Amino acid sequence: MIHAADDDRQVTHDEAMMLVRSFLSAGVDRTVDSIGLALKLLAEQPDQYAVLRADPSLARNAFKEATRFDSSSHSLFRTTLCAREIAGQLIGKHEKVMVFIGSAGRDGAHFDDPDAFDITRKIRGQMGYGVGPHGCVGQMFARLEGEILLQAVAQQVLDLQPDGTPETRLNPGLRGPARMSMVLQ
């Protein structure tokens, strides 16, 4: 699609190369991690997997809920353009701010019973894809990929079991299973 846009001169050749790079670097790891975290949650919480098996059309919401509950992007950074007070804290001009979007998903002021993983929950104001001008441009793809995968699993796998304890990859910005083994029946 991007190379076709390049051929049609809708973007320059240099822009096309940068777009491909952005989509691959920003889009692959987070999607793989989010799908891994969603499968891990469903395997660990068989009651929720049973709800999904009974109604695979909940796959889209299950993926959204997994991203709220355990985000593959748990923090992002911004640099302030001017001094601002936020929640009583003065932040100066040109300061680096680390925003914990992962913890925003567990904000009890916004979500009822935030520490419960509930694939039927109505999810609004979820921060897992960021917000504003730099919010995730690929989130529609990501949700579709997650939905298709979880739906196919729910339709074909009777029982999803963790096989041992998954290893979590620790990284200040990205979170996901480094190694995870499962038994599918």
State yes or no: residue 23 binds ligand HEM (CB under 6 A). yes
- Residue closer to ligand HEM by CB (options 161, 168) is 168
State yes or no: residue 69 binds ligand HEM (CB under 6 A). no
Distances (CA, A) of 98 to 4, 73, 91: 37, 12, 12
Q: How many residues does the chain have?
A: 185
* Cβ atoms of residues 110 and 125 within 8 Å: yes
* Cβ atoms of residues 129 and 66 within 8 Å: no
Quick one: tokens of 180? 């995870």
Q: How far is the CB of 64 from ligand HEM (least distance, A)?
A: 10
User: Which of these ranges, 25-33, 41-49, 87-95, 157-165, lies near ligand HEM under the rule CB under 6 A?
Assistant: 25-33
State yes or no: residue 155 binds ligand HEM (CB under 6 A). no
Q: Which residue has the closest beta carbon to ligand HEM?
A: 138
* Cβ atoms of residues 34 and 5 within 8 Å: no
> Contact positions toward ligand HEM, by CB under 6 A?
22-23, 26-27, 30-31, 34, 67, 72-73, 76, 128-132, 134-138, 141-142
